[in-house]
Amino acid sequence: MAGHSKWANIQHRKGRQDAARSKLFSKFSKEITIAAKMGDPDPEKNPRLRLAVKVAKAQSMPNDNIDRAIKKSQAGDAEDYEEIRYEGYGPGGVAVIVEAMTDNRNRTASNVRSTFTKHGGNLGETGSVGFMFERKGQVTYTAAAGDADTVMMAAIEAGAEDVESAEDGHVIWCADSDLNEVSVALEAELGESDETQLVWRPTTSTEMDLEGMQKLMKLIDALEDDDDVQRVTANFEASDEVMEQL
C-alpha cells in the first residue's frame, strides 16, 4: 500500500506540474499571437514577437506550439485581446502590478479584485503603485558568460544602462525601448542569454518577514493562476534566511 500511495502522490504531483506547464504555454501562445497580429509575423522583423518567442523557447515550449500561435494571428477569427494593467497592494503594504490580456474586461477586473481581497490585499486605481516601478529591459546571463568585467564591457558596448553581477550570474538592465537591440548585441558577444524580458523594476521596496512572505506568495500564486493574467510583479524584499524558509 505504501508503494501505491507513493505512486499516487507522484502521479498527482506530475498532474499538477503538467497542468501548470499547460497554463504557462497557453499564456505564451496568447502573447505570441497578439505580438504577431499587431506587427509582422516574422520574428526577425517584429521585436515584440521575437522577444515573445525567445521567452517561450527558454521555457521549452515546443516549436509546433509557437508556429501555431503565429499562424493563428493571421487567421480571420483570431481573438481580440485587450492588454490591461492592474495595480494594488498586497499583504504588508507590498506594491503589486498585474499585467493581463483579456477578451472580457469585466470578468478579468472582477477576478483580480476578488483575488486581492481574498488574500489580504486591495486593488487600487491605475497609477496607485506604478510610480514605485520603472519599465525596463532585463537580460540575464549565468556566470558561464564571463567575469564581471567582461560582461560589463559587453553591456556598455551594447548600450545597456546597468549591470548587476554576482557569483551565480549577471543581470543587465536597459531602457525598455532598447531591449531588442541590446539583447541582439549581447548575444553576439556573450552568446544566448538565460532570460530576456520586459519587467517592472522597483525603485523602492518593502521588507517582508516570513509570515508576510507566505501571505504574499499565496496572493501572487492565485493571481498567476488566472488564465487572463500574464505577469505579476511586487516590490518586496526579504532576507536570504526568509527565502530559504519559504
Please indicate, yes or no, whether residues 59 and 108 belong to a single structural domain of this protein.
Answer: no
Query: Residues 65, 161: one domain?
Result: no
Residues 15 and 113 in one domain: no
Quickly tell me which residue has 541590446 as its cell: 182
The residues facing 141 across adjacent strands are 170
Asked whether residue 110 falls in the same domain as residue 42, the answer is no
Is residue 129 located within the same domain as residue 221? Answer: yes
How many domains would you assign to the chain?
2
Mean pLDDT by 10 residues, the chain (246 residues): 39 52 83 83 84 85 88 73 92 94 92 96 92 93 93 95 92 93 92 87 90 92 91 88 79
State the pLDDT at residue 217: 92
Residues 6+ apart with CB under 8 A from 243: 213
At 87 the three-state DSSP class reads: strand
Looking at residue 36, which CATH number applies to its domain? 1.10.10.200
C-alpha cell at 143: 556566470
Strands 229-234 and 195-202: unpaired
Partner residues linked to 97 by β-bridges: 87, 233
End-to-end CA distance of the chain: 31
CA dist 72 → 25, 43, 102, 134, 162 (Å)? 15, 15, 16, 32, 37
- Dist. CA 35–CA 45, nearest whole Å: 11
Q: Grid coordinates standing for 39?
A: 506587427
Q: Are residues 40 and 114 in the same domain?
A: no
- Hey, how many other C-beta atoms are within 10 angstroms of the C-beta on 36? 24
66 and 17 co-located in one domain: yes
Between helix 179-190 and helix 148-158 the angle, nearest 10°, is 140
Q: Which alpha helices (H) appear in the chain, and where do they start and end?
A: 2-38, 47-58, 63-74, 105-118, 148-158, 179-190, 210-224, 240-245
- Name the domain boundary from 57, 74, 91: 74
Cα separation of 39 and 33, whole Å?
10
pLDDT of residue 115: 97
Q: Which of 25, 50, 74 is the last residue of a domain?
A: 74
- φ/ψ of residue 37, rounded to 5: -70, -35
Give the DSSP H or E segment for 196. Answer: strand 195-202
Domain span including residue 45: 2-74
Task: Assign residue 154 the CATH number of its domain.
Answer: 3.30.70.980
The C-alpha atoms of residue 35 and residue 199 are separated, in whole angstroms, by 17
Asked if residue 109 and residue 48 are part of one domain, the reply reads: no
pLDDT recorded at residue 18: 56
Instruction: Give the separation between CA 152 and CA 155, rounded to whole angstroms.
Output: 5
**Cβ neighbours around 79 below 10 Å, total:** 14
Q: Do 173 and 231 fall within a single domain?
A: yes
Task: Tell me the whole-structure pTM to 2 decimals.
Answer: 0.78
